[in-house]
Amino acid sequence: MKVLLLQVADFFKQLIFRLFLLMIILTAIAYYFYFYKPSDTGVITGKIRDFRLNEISGLVVSEKNADTLWVHNDSGHDNIIYAISKRGNIREKFEINGIDLRDIEDISIYKDDQGESYLILSDLGSNTKMRTNSTPKLVFFKEPDLLVDLCELPSENSGQTYQISQFEIYELEFPDVPEIQYTDQNAFINNIINNIENATPDIEAIIVDTKQKELLFFSKTYKGITGIFSIPLDNLKSDGINKLSYEGSINIKQFTEGYHIDFRHLLLSPINFPYAVTAADLSRDQDTLLIRTYGNTWEWHRGYAQKSFSQIIQTTKPEYVMSAFEPLGESIGIDLDSKGFYTISEGLFSKIYYNELP
């Protein structure tokens, strides 16, 4: 009996090692296509040149500063946002001190009624579906004016670091939401997936809808059921907990029927990563909403309807938007003229892609 148990243990050790080796090989193949094979769509405007920007998960186009993108890393990094040129050079860095930011997963930008532009950092990430000793929060601050002149920006510039001393913190609380119950696999696997998906929401995409004066949040689930949360801008208070409202959900996976899923994502996605929402942005004219996953980008239009996008995306089928292949794409930012958008993948020395909107 003891010999049999040892043989079983040895079998599983070898199996785990081989699966791990297979995952490395498949990941290497996908990265080969990303780094060395030109994407079938999108224009490369530049390449991230600083090794510290290795987990970019948020991106917006600057309102105040020409040829500038605001980006940031996600969990495990300092509280720093980077102003980079569209060629990938760091212009300046801004650090927020005196606050515990656990997992910044997105950044958004909007203008108030006086025309002042503000940046919002969303510390709502929860890849492990657990947030211990850290309250989900938003950080608001005025968009900085950059001092460095693009004409004098050397390619090796690493950016001067400045401090952001004035900001507002808004702590958030999630409402109760309907439980997700998947039944498409065996009971053991379904139980694991359901427990993960019904834990603390992992919010990796936010937008500011100034027409409706509200913030919208989209949760990341690996099977494609994306929860939608909201809160009115005017209801935010810095001296208490702000409870979000649950607006419903959409099934990203259903949208993919009849559309192309890049096979390279499937190499990286044994548990349906192509359907996990990782970023969103709203155009400056407030008409176009883009939501991206690891596998696709989807577009909704408000048109003449004076509705919240939380209603529109639940009642309207989106348009499929061609975008560049990225192995771990977690950022998207619509250009100021609303004619195209930028994307950047996580990873060292990632490319910056510009894609035109249809």
Nearest to 27 by CA among 346, 355, 352: 346
Please tell me the distance from the alpha carbon of residue 201 to that of residue 218, in angstroms, as a whole number: 9
DSSP string, 180-221: P---SS-HHHHHHHHHHHTSS--EEEEEEETTTTEEEEEE--
| CATH 2.120.10 is held by the domain 41-356 | yes
Does residue 267 have a pLDDT over 60? no
Contact 354, 340 (CB under 8 A): yes
**β-strand pairing of 297-301 with 340-345:** unpaired
Does residue 259 have a pLDDT over 70? no
Q: Given this model, what pLDDT does residue 4 score? A: 62
What is the arithmetic mean of pLDDT over 138-149? 86
In this predicted model, which residue has the larger pLDDT, 333 or 148?
Answer: 333
pTM of structure: 0.84
SS3 268: helix
- Name the residue with tokens 């890849």: 127
pLDDT in tens, 181-192: 666 666 666 666
Q: Where is average pLDDT lowest: 72-86, 137-151, 276-290?
A: 137-151
In this predicted model, which residue has the larger pLDDT, 126 or 309?
Answer: 309
What is the arithmetic mean of pLDDT over 256-264? 62
Mean pLDDT of all residues belonging to the chain:
82
Please tell me the distance from the alpha carbon of residue 34 to that of residue 12, in angstroms, as a whole number: 33
Cβ neighbours for 277, distance < 8 A, ≥ 6 positions apart: 204, 205, 218, 219, 220, 221, 226, 252, 291, 292, 293
What token pair was written down for 238? 């810095």
Terminal-to-terminal C-alpha distance of the chain: 66
Contact 46, 86 (CB under 8 A): yes
| Identity of residue 231 | I
